[in-house]
Amino acid sequence: MTSLIPHLKERIGQRDYTIGVIGLGYVGLPAVVRFGEVGFRVLGFDIDPDKVKRLTAGESYIRHLPADRIVSLSRSGRFEATTDFVRLGEADALLVCVPTPLTRHRNPDLQYVTQTADAIARTLRVGQLICLESTTYPGTTEELLLPRFEARGLKAGEDFFLVFSPEREDPGNTHFGLATMPKVLGGVSDACGELGEALYTTIVPTVVRVASPKAAEMTKLLENIYRAVNIALVNELKMLSDRMGIDIWEVIHAAATKPFGFQAFYPGPGLGGHCIPIDPFYLTWKAREYGMATRFIELAGEINHAMPTWVVGKVVEALNGRGKSLNGAKVLVLGVAYKPNIDDQRESPALEILTLLRQQGAQVNYSDPHVPRCYGHRHYPDLDLTALPLTTETLQTQDAVILVTNHSAFDVEFIGHHARLIVDTRNTFKGFPPNKIVKA
């Protein structure tokens, strides 16, 4: 049988090739824009009709992705968004960017991936390239996707092509994006890897080929576990340093002057976002199949998970020192997005902190220039707050202010000047009078 690869590569080169992106969220939408901007026709698929409607109207629902990029793509006539999954067969390549959360019992919840795989299988045709981008445990591509597709009577590497290529998107990062970062990729066969590489080379500077989808899946998990474990390490050292009267921030900055062998990680109020608190546990689950416990992951999870409680403990201590109790105190949380300069609240430690404060009788409020309303979270159904404007009066009437997320839009001088007590989880208020600032 003649290989389809040379012909498909030629079509990629000529942009006579349609990209379908499934799941138009924080990962999928930037991929749509990037492929569109380098000249491909792009079809976006999502089960959420509201997202499709907004994209069709030229709106962006991701704050750091400007709407003008969507508008100019739509005007080019090369982009369409749809909820009609029968159209999956129109795409030459399908990128799967759907969520991979944990279940209530903290096991992998692959329902979105398997639903998508079933939908693709229904319209799979000769020549299609399928790229799973969602973060998941090693084995997902070959154990969950491949059998569904081959059950259609087509053979991977000959009739259709299948790869795993993890996404390194870091929302809000102004230094690195899809266009500037190498992309790891592992194909089910050499032919799959070759076609995947040909496609992604059009949008990233380098494609890093690994031997298998499993190796690519593990690479993404290593990157995120590395962060989770190192953050836990500095969080533990932060608590110890606090007891010993040592400033952990000073220590980290000093250690970071070593020109080799040390990479600085910083403590904080706990992990947030869709990735670092969740992805490591995909591996923990899979490791059980191999009779292994992932002890570093579990320990890091335990320490990082305890951070909101520790921060609230520091608020209690600070108020006590002023003859006040948390019960009845007015407390303002600054920043509910899980990291600076974005609007994403998923798994944000601020949600846990607000809930813990409330459980102990505090009157809680928050302020966040990127999040006008804080509500509707899976684990915090009772939270429904509207952001307070950060005025002199707001600050002066609080018994304590907790800096959880250090957005650049926060006026540090202004807050430091007007707040009565600041519990600072990010070392943002260094240099302010120590009687006002409590590091946590």
What span, in angstroms and rounded, lies between the C-alpha atoms of 63 and 337?
12
What span, in angstroms and rounded, lies between the C-alpha atoms of 148 and 352?
39
State yes or no: residue 123 binds ligand NAD (CB under 6 A).
no
Stretch in the footprint of ligand NAD (CB under 6 A) among 36-44, 93-101, 123-131, 419-427: 93-101
* Shortest CB 407 distance to ligand NAD, Å: 17
8 A C-beta contact, residue 256 and residue 234: no
Taking residues 129 to 168 in sequence order and writing x for each that binds ligand NAD by CB under 6 A, - otherwise, the string is -----xx-------------------------------x-
Using CB under 6 A as the binding rule, the residues of this chain from 412 to 431 that contact ligand NAD are none
Q: Residues binding ligand NAD: what is the number (CB under 6 A)?
A: 26
User: Between the CA atoms of 98, 190, 32 and 175, what dihedral angle is there, to the nearest 10 degrees?
Assistant: 100
Quick one: which of 5, 20, 25, 403 contacts ligand NAD (CB under 6 A)?
25
Q: Return the DSSP state at 188.
A: S
Q: Report the residue number, 199 or 312, with the smaller CB distance to ligand NAD.
A: 199
8 A C-beta contact, residue 177 and residue 322: no
Quick one: which of 18, 74, 115, 123 contacts ligand NAD (CB under 6 A)?
115
Q: CA–CA distance from 221 to each of 23, 187, 322, 359 (Å)?
A: 21, 17, 45, 35
8 A C-beta contact, residue 398 and residue 376: no
Catalytic residues: 275
Taking residues 162 to 201 in sequence order and writing x for each that binds ligand NAD by CB under 6 A, - otherwise, the string is -----x-x-x------------------------------
**Pick from 25, 248, 271: nearest CA to 133:** 25
Q: Return the DSSP state at 87.
A: G
Containing 309, the helix (H) or strand (E) segment is: helix 307-320
State yes or no: residue 347 binds ligand NAD (CB under 6 A).
no
Work out the burial of residue 174: count CB atoms within 10 Å of its CB; fewer than 13 is exposed, 13-18 middle, 19 or more buried: exposed
Residue of this chain nearest to ligand NAD (CB atom): 25
Q: Report the residue number, 101 or 313, with the smaller CB distance to ligand NAD.
A: 101
DSSP per position, 214-238: HHHHHHHHHHHHHHHHHHHHHHHHH
Quick one: which of 40, 45, 160, 338 contacts ligand NAD (CB under 6 A)?
45
Quick one: which of 40, 112, 164, 282 contacts ligand NAD (CB under 6 A)?
112
Q: What is the CA radius of gyration of the chain?
A: 24
Q: Report the residue number, 17 or 26, with the smaller CB distance to ligand NAD.
A: 26
Interface with ligand NAD (CB under 6 A): 22-28, 45-48, 51, 97-100, 112, 115-116, 134-135, 167, 169, 171, 274-275
